[in-house]
Each structure stands twice: as structure tokens, then as C-alpha cells.
Amino acid sequence: MSGQNKRGLIFGNPEESLQEQLNRNTDLLFTTAHHGLNDLQDVSCMVINETDQQLLQNAQAGLLGVLDAVPEGLCITDETFHVQWHNLVFSRLTDAGSGRNLLGQTLQELLKSAEDGGLDQLSAPAAAGLSVRHQFRRDNGTFIALRLTRLPADESRLLITLTDVSEEALLKQKQEAIYRAGLELGNLSPDDVASMTPEERVALLTDQILQLTQEVLGYDRFELRLLNPESSELEPLLEFGMSQEAAERRLFASESGNGVTGFVAFSGQTYLCVDTTSDPLYLSGANDAHSSLTVPLMIRDTVLGTFNVESRGTLAFDKQDLEFFILFSRVVASALNQLQLLEVEKTMATTANSDRLRREVAEPSDEILKATTWILERYIGHDPDVCERLHLIADRIRGIASNVGNVDESAGGPAFKSAIPSRPPRSALRGKRVLVVDQDAIAREDAHNLLGQMGCQVEAVQTASDARSMLRNYSYDVILMDINLSDASGYECFSQLKQINPLVPVIMMTSFGYDSTHSIIRARQEGMKAVLFKPFRRTQMLDEVEKAITPPDAADNPAS
């Protein structure tokens, strides 16, 4: 720094010379050397008297305390990213502690990236007032976000902010896992699996679960078992990282005596074991496990099996792990259920079995789609990438339901088809999307079955709140809505849905014409299409839905 103008602030007697001040105060010598003032050429100093000294010392102490108290790491570097100043948090983020001198070292030396060339492409903003952001993974597995800004007073220097974003990065990885699970596990159409044996289908599915669980979710000790409903035995389907004794252990769905896995299968409840050494239910799984998380694989209220993951650390799983693992397990359970039901459908190949298949898949598909949409709305406006991926998950889940609903049209050989009663063609309904809003589970199931037979893609929810969420995120050709909902009157729900999409036709449903809130009269005044009075006839429902989705000009001209 020789030859450059330097400025210093010295606390002391203003009548003494600069050299006298430096000779008398060794602390000041250390301070000037620490900040690069190692010679006295071209040094301009302001010496203040002792009256103002305490005030400035307090200000200095307060400023340094603020900079060290901020949660981000701060440092000032030159153009080549050599550190000239930093706060204490910067030391901690670089694993240097407080005793190591970091001045003069480069960011590349202090923050080692796990990615080839991760920091080689580090760039600075072109001018003061501009910022550049970078994010990378360090070789210790943590994620660091950098923000580089030029100092307005000296554009040759950069203010760099460091933030540990490991928690956010891990959350995004788990969201990626759900995205991939929805794509991979749901990517099984009837054409793809028609020529496979049941064993080949299971092998394909377990390979996908193994890859997703190990590589994406990051779990390397896990076990998946399927429940035999006749014997109540939990039969091993997939395991990785477990001891041989655990893999070969026979377990049954039981409240006691069969470990955590048996209890979860018996109760249908999730179980978090925070410390395997003291948990009364835990049976040894992985040799070095100190905590475990076990969830039931369920469709409706039926337990299909269990999914168990284990970790070396005590208290290794938190609430966030639990939420994402439960959602991931729902997708796994849906895929397992789909394989089982496809095999049943292929074997029986009758209209009755096809309808049952649709009923069995309808409700769990609705629940998974509703949960995915709920998560999607929480991230709208915060992370567009996550929203896009969740939309793809929802599309895949909807595709599963529609594929299952169409299986009956192509299933079975000619000998079976001759015995299947023909259904009146409703070509106008094929491929139409219908949203059903009804608290009655039987009504939702009937709508799935009846409209699904005609080729409609039906999705059902129970409340007005869920209906609004679905309509905000997906498009429908018609909505069937009961007027008695737990969280809104029929008219309130109708009005709210029309505010979201004024073009979608709405058909109201009511039992025996009972309408205490006069919702039907008020909704008719605002363009409601029709009313169905329960219990309604099959043809009546299909006629009203067909009229609602048929454009007026097409209805006037049947030939069109």
C-alpha cells in the first residue's frame, strides 16, 4: 500500500505529534500494522482529544458488535478475492474459528467447493450498486450462498455476504425426490405392464424405490414390507443396509412383540424412534442405527405394508423429514396398489372388476392430489421451480387415475367381452374433467364410478376450501357441488368458485330438495346450470352433465 494515501484515527492528545503518539502507544502500532498502515508516508491522521475519546470508543465498540452479531458472514476483498477484512461469522462459516488469520487469503482457498470448477467461475459485479449471486456445495457437504457487491466509496473493493443455505438445499432435494417419485413410480401405463408377469412388475417397482430412497432422499438403511391380509405377516419386499438378522426376521402386524414395524402395521400410525437404545418397541435393524422412522403404506384405511428408515445419529429425523417421508410413502403405496389392482383387473377382466378398480384408486388418488396441491399453494410466489415440479407430480397422479379408469375398455379376451353388457355411448363426456364437491363418501364414489365409465376424468374433494384450491390450480369442464358443506353454504361455495373461474358450469346437488339457505334460488339467478335431487337416476345425472358441457350452438345443431 506504499504510495497510496492512508487515513487514520488516533485517540490521544492533539498537541502531540503523530510519531510521538505511535512511539507511546504500542497498541496503536499493532492496529496500524493490522490495517496496512505499516509506514508513515502519505498518512493523514485526525487526533482527537480525550474529551471525545470515550464517545468514539463506544461508537467503535457498538459498530464492531453489530457486524459480528449479524447472522451472515461478511468480508471485504479486492478484485482478486483476497480477504482484507471479515467478521466473526465469516470465520465460522469457513471453519477457521477465531484464532486463525484469514487476511490475505482468497475465497477459493477458504471455501473449497465439492464441484469441479465451482468457484473458478466466481465473478464480480460490473459497477457499484450491482450485485452478483452464487451458490455452491462445499466439500464438507454444506451449501453456501454468496452475494458480491461493489463498495460505492471504493469500487476496487467488494463486500461479500456468505449465508449457509444447507437447510434450504436439503428441503429442495426432498422436493425433488417427491417430484421424481411422482414421475417414476406413476409412469406405469396398462400398455407398459400388459406383457409383464407380476414378479417382473414388482421387480421394476422395487428398483425404482431403491434408487429414489437411496440416491435422492439420502437414506441408506431402509426396509419395505408388504402385509399379507390373510396371515397378518409382514413379508419383506425390499431392504438395504439392514443386518441379515433383521432382513430374515419374521414380523406380524401386532401391538407388541413384533417391533416398531409390527406396531405400525397394526395401528396404522407413524412411529418415530428417537433413541433405539431406550425405545421399548425397537428391534435391531441396521447394526449401527440409533434412531428410526417408520410409516404405514396405506390406501384409504387399509394398511398395505410398512416403510422403515434408520440412521446412525440419535434424533436424526425432524418434523420436516416426517412430512416428506409420509408424502413419499403415499406415492409408493399408490404405485403398489396400482400394480395389485392391475393384476386383479387383468385376471378377472370384467366390467364389475373394472368398476371396483376405479373405486379403489379414486379416493387415494384424490387425497394425494389434494395434498400435493396444498403443498403447491404454500410455495406459490416463493420458488417457481418447486411449483413447476409439483404441477408435474399432480399431472402424473391425475394420469394414473385416468389410465386405471380406461383399463376396462381393452381388458380381457373376446370370450369375456361378449358377456359384458354394453353401455350407451356418451362420446361428448369422454375425456372431460369433472370436479365433485361432496362430504358424502358414497356420493363421491358413485360419481367416480358412473362418470368414469363414460370416460370422464373425475376428481373429488369434501370441502369448499379444497374445491377453491383445486380450481385455482387445475381446469375443469364442469363442477358438481352439494349445497351442504362443512365450511360454506351452497351459494357461498358457488359464488367463490365463480370468482375463480366464471366460465366453468356448476351443477348443484341436494338431498330431497332440502335447501335451508336458499342457495339454489340465489345461484340460479347468477347462471347456475342445473340441480340434481338425490337420489337421482343414472341417466338423469349423465344428461345434466352432458348438457352443461355442450356448447349452445352444438346443442342446437346435433349434426355438428
Residues 248 and 330 reside in one and the same domain:
yes
Q: Is 518 left (phi over 0), alpha (psi -120 to 50) or beta?
A: left
Task: Output the CA–CA distances (angstroms, integers) from residue 419 to 349, 350, 415, 422, in the order listed.
Answer: 11, 8, 7, 9
Among 69, 98, 124, give the residue marking a domain's end.
69
Residues 343 and 484 reside in one and the same domain:
no
Residues 211 and 313 reside in one and the same domain:
yes
- For residue 243, what are the domain limits? 170-372
Q: Which residues contact 455 (CB under 8 A, 6 or more apart)?
A: 405, 406, 426, 429, 430, 431, 432
* Total count of domains within the chain: 4
Q: Is residue 398 part of a domain?
A: no
Q: Is residue 386 part of a domain?
A: no
CATH number at residue 314: 3.30.450.40
Residues 347 and 266 reside in one and the same domain:
yes
Q: What pLDDT score does 476 carry?
A: 93
Residues 429 and 353 reside in one and the same domain:
no
Q: Is residue 197 part of a domain?
A: yes
Residues 176 and 152 reside in one and the same domain:
no
pTM of the model: 0.40
Residues 270 and 148 reside in one and the same domain:
no
Q: Which residues contact 463 (CB under 8 A, 6 or more apart)?
A: 437, 439, 485, 486, 487, 488
Q: What pLDDT score does 152 carry?
A: 83
C-alpha cell read off for 212: 429414489
CATH number at residue 517: 3.40.50.2300
Contact 324, 303 (CB under 8 A): no
What is the Cα–Cα distance from 33 to 37, expressed in whole angstroms?
Answer: 5
Q: Is residue 53 part of a domain?
A: yes
Helix and strand numbers, DSSP H then E, in the chain = 20, 18
Helices (H), 431-502: 441-453, 464-473, 490-500
Contact 509, 438 (CB under 8 A): yes
Contact 308, 265 (CB under 8 A): no
HSE-CB of 476 using CA atoms within 13 angstroms = 32
Among 164, 187, 219, give the residue marking a domain's end.
164
Q: Is residue 312 part of a domain?
A: yes
Residue written as cell 417457481? 384
Q: Is residue 1 part of a domain?
A: no
Q: Is residue 391 part of a domain?
A: no
What is the Cα–Cα distance from 209 to 224, expressed in whole angstroms?
Answer: 9
Residues 226 and 334 reside in one and the same domain:
yes
Q: What pLDDT score does 259 carry?
A: 94
Residues 298 and 439 reside in one and the same domain:
no
What is the Cα–Cα distance from 460 to 452, expressed in whole angstroms?
Answer: 12
Residues 441 and 504 reside in one and the same domain:
yes
User: Which amino acid is present at 97?
Assistant: G
Residues 195 and 294 reside in one and the same domain:
yes
Nearest to 454 by CA among 433, 426, 432: 426
Q: 10-residue block means of pLDDT along the chain (560 residues)? A: 46 55 47 42 46 53 68 88 88 72 84 63 80 81 87 85 83 66 58 63 74 72 89 90 91 94 94 91 89 90 90 82 81 76 55 61 76 75 70 72 53 32 65 91 86 86 91 91 88 91 90 73 84 82 89 51
Q: Is residue 405 part of a domain?
A: no
C-alpha cell read off for 4: 497510496
Among 69, 98, 123, give the residue marking a domain's end.
69
Residues 179 and 195 reside in one and the same domain:
yes
Q: What pLDDT score does 194 carry?
A: 60
